[in-house]
Structure 1
Amino acid sequence: MEQELTSIKKWNIIYPVYINSKKTVAEGRRVSAAKACENPNCMEISDCCSHLKIPHAVEIDKAYPRDFMQVGRVRFQLKKADGSFWNPAITSKKALMLQIAELVPKHHGRTKKQEPAVSSAAAVPAKSGKHGKKKK
């Protein structure tokens, strides 16, 4: 178990800020705003890594150094011990971030959350209090 933890310490890290379209480059975004997704969280990034067959570990208790209110990060490993890639289509951290940013909006948690909000959007217009009174 301890050897596994030391190996995880050497894995690469993705903070959700890296692919957040709401952040600026100065605030920590690392992909273009057009390719980034809106407000990702580390669990969505973790699910995307699972989908892409990339070994990963979620660290909920860690915060982004520039903004300690941004909690959570994902550690991942691109290469196996023999030097070959886990997913041949993803050969760099940047490529992984772009793939994750593309997959997060399609995440099942996001698509389920949006459906009820759309159906409850039909609101009854409020009536004005001036109707029925005539001017003298």
Structure 2
Amino acid sequence: MMDGSTPNFKTWNILYPVYMNSKKTIAEGRRIPFSKACENPTALEIGDCCGHLKIPFAIEIDKAYPRDYMQVGRVRVNLKRPDGTLNNPLIANKKQLMIRIAELVPRHPGRVKKQEAASSTSNAAAAPSKSGKGGRKKR
């Protein structure tokens, strides 16, 4: 962590990737507007973005969102220092933090490489595809 003392993680805010996922509905757990959400963020990407924003964080890989327990990982974040001042003066609450993270995740270095690899392979694979089940028709 950033400071030498052992902080009390139990009092920190929890961010699940579902909160910022544009593929999810509000009923499924998304907490920010669809227009501001990003596509399928991971706990590691969220943690990296918190580090970029100079906010103390801890990634918990062994935890999962109760409504979607197949997606594992959550991030604990500490918005305020022990004296009550904000760690990042530009981010006053959890919702602002989620919106900032959702803006940063698409530009995440690991994600940029994945998108470039996917776009180059999808163009090559899309050319020979044909529709239909294939095979001969039965009489």
TM-score over 0.5 for the pair: yes
Q: Give the TM-score, by structure 2 length.
A: 0.83
1:76 aligns with 2:80: no
Q: What is the CA–CA distance in structure 2 between the aligned matches of 1:53 and 1:79, rounded to whole Å?
A: 12
Match among 3, 6, 9 for residue 4 of structure 1 = 6
Q: Deviations over 1:15-59 (max 9, x none)?
A: 000000000000000001110000000000000000000000000
Once the two structures are TM-superposed, the CA of residue 87 in structure 1 deviates from its matched residue by 0.4
Alignment of 1:1-136 (within 5 A): 4=6, 7-120=8-121, 121-123=123-125, 124-125=127-128
Q: Which runs of 5+ in 1 are unaligned?
A: 128-136
Q: State the 1:126 CA deviation.
A: 7.0
Equivalent residue letter for 1:4: T
SS at match of 2:91: coil
**How many residue pairs get matched?**
124
Which whole-Å CA distance do the structure 2 matches of 1:22 and 1:54 have between them? 26
Letter aligned with residue 78 of structure 1:
L
Matched position secondary structure for 2:36:
coil
**TM-score normalised to structure 1 length:** 0.85
Structure-2 separation of matches of 1:125 and 1:94: 45
Deviations 1:77-120 (A, max 9, x none): 00111111110000000000000000000000110111122223
Instruction: Go from structure 1 to structure 2 and tell me whether the alpha carbon gap of 1:18 and 1:126 turns closer, same or farther (over 3 Å shift).
Output: closer
Distance in 2 separating the partners of 1:33 and 1:104: 15
Q: Which runs of 4+ in 1 moved over 4 A?
A: none
Between the aligned residues of both structures, percent identity stands at 65
Secondary structure at the aligned position of 1:4 is classed as coil
The amino acid of 2:41's aligned partner reads P
What is the rounded CA distance, in whole Å, between the counterparts of 1:32 and 1:13 in structure 2?
19
Deviation at 1:125, TM superposition (A): 3.8
